[in-house]
Structure 1
């Protein structure tokens, strides 16, 4: 299994000592984060001053989701398009970078779909239940705001859109180009979704992220799930406290 570290960046690293343990620094001077050991999520906030929000933030993601009666004030509208993509193993996940893949509109702000990536097991939970896989579609606005759409996978029938992506997974740090990536193929037919204000689920855990998580999972076969977990079996951040945030539900348009 590939190690869940920053690959080539760690190779040229310096070292710091945290709690008596040597921690590698990446080429930006940040200590390397991971999902286990000394770089695990419970240590992220101590690895770098830039990661302090991972500990101190009060709008952190992921969270545990549950049935709610409050309707969302705003409903995201998706305008996704088929696009060319680049599949990368970045040492933390399998990421698909996209060009001209369409957008998400929320209120008076437009966000461009720039990439999607996967977590096993799921980062968000539903009444404590964790799905075997979750995909995050990351959107960015021109003024630097982020919006993410999450979709759960449960074991069942094979998902046709996954096969081409899994076949294109490169060696860690490399990338493979893929054509005709259809992001909408990963959406369930039921567009009911949770909405809340959250953060990135990886360092620096920046807040102000507009989260939408679909309530209905899609399916992937046991073989497709195993193909991912053979590389990343534990690349999820545990759920974070909701604090005073409002969890709402509505329809994705």
Structure 2
């Protein structure tokens, strides 16, 4: 109340001073005194007003303010989280779209499988069926070759009719064996079906076994009929006298692997055959990838002789190029009586 009164008095003094500033009836000393009083009262009122303490917030107001601040911080944090989540979703969608696009391109691109195989190591016979889908029979077939020929059914088998004659030939070292391509016109007839000799090649040791017995080498003579069916004639080799056809082949070996020699001379496949023509027969497969089945096998019972020197020469080129024996899987084996 005192401050209010002083303020009112000051205001009156100021007003009077302002009003009497031009009044000639008021003396200068009076005007000065009034101005001083007014100034003092004004300063006193101003000082009293500025020194008044601010009003304190109640507990309820403090709680409300704290809740408002917390809510603001939560909303700010949620906004940041939503923005981050939206960025992650967008990035994931972009990555998924890129992956789908890449997968579509890969699916459209033709798959290329290896054609590399060998007789040892990772690409050896145990893995042939896994290297290329086209070779699946090498691992899953139930009529695979070679086999150990046991318990043959002795029957009256008709004699094989051989129609071989001296023919042109070429010799290729194909990196897996020595292969001899023979000129056309050489046939065998088995079961009223005629097969033409296409080529013959060598394996060391023999792939076939007879009652568990293996041989040092074997010659496989590949024949085909007009419908593409294969008949494989196997000639087991044992040490003995020199074999003339084999010597002719060795004389014309190419000087480099994967090369072919085409001599001007001829060879007679008939000279490869043993004196006796008894045989075993059964259904099997090719012994190299893709291991296709449905092959008619004819294994001559009497071995053919070749000299130790002839066998040693081949062993220098291919010391091991034979597929291991495969399961018989209950197949029927017929044997000449």
Q: TM-score range by the shorter chain?
A: 0.7 to 0.9
Q: Does the C-alpha gap of structure 1 residues 29 and 74 become closer, same or farther in structure 2, counting only changes over 3 Å?
A: farther
| 2:258 equivalent to 1:173 | yes
Gaps of 5+ in 1: 1-27
| 2:125 equivalent to 1:46 | no
Gaps of 5+ in 2: 1-111
| 2:222 equivalent to 1:132 | no
TM-superposition CA deviations, 1:179-211 (whole Å, max 9, x none): 221111111101111000010000000000000
How far did residue 111 of structure 1 move? 1.3
Q: Which residue of 1 aligns with 2:62?
A: none
Q: Which residue of 2 aligns with 1:141?
A: 225
Return the structure number with greater helix share.
2
**Higher RCO, 1 or 2 (CA under 8 Å, sep at least 6)?**
1
CA RMSD after TM alignment: 1.6
Q: In the alignment, is the contact (CA less than 8 A) between 2:248 and 2:267 conserved in 1?
A: no
Return the structure number with greater strand share.
1
Q: In the alignment, is the contact (CA less than 8 A) between 1:65 and 1:126 conserved in 2?
A: yes
TM-superposition CA deviations, 1:35-54 (whole Å, max 9, x none): 01111101100010000001
Figure out how many residues of one structure are paired with residues of the other and give that number.
Answer: 224
TM-superposition CA deviations, 1:85-144 (whole Å, max 9, x none): 010000100000011241122224221111000000000011211111100110011211
How far did residue 74 of structure 1 move? 5.5
Q: Supply the distance in 2 between the matched residues of 1:72 and 1:234 (Cα, whole angstroms).
A: 36
Give the 3-state SS of the residue equivalent to 1:216 in structure 2: coil
Q: Does the C-alpha gap of structure 1 residues 219 and 204 become closer, same or farther in structure 2, counting only changes over 3 Å?
A: same
Q: Does the C-alpha gap of structure 1 residues 78 and 190 become closer, same or farther in structure 2, counting only changes over 3 Å?
A: same
How far did residue 67 of structure 1 move? 5.3
TM-superposition CA deviations, 1:197-244 (whole Å, max 9, x none): 010000000000000000111111111101001000100001111112
Q: Which residue of 2 aligns with 1:232?
A: 318
TM-superposition CA deviations, 1:25-77 (whole Å, max 9, x none): xxx84330110111110110001000000111111110112353432665532
| 2:150 equivalent to 1:66 | yes
Q: Supply the distance in 1 between the matched residues of 2:134 and 2:244 (Cα, whole angstroms).
A: 39
Q: Supply the distance in 2 between the matched residues of 1:183 and 1:230 (Cα, whole angstroms).
A: 24
Q: Supply the distance in 2 between the matched residues of 1:73 and 1:191 (Cα, whole angstroms).
A: 11
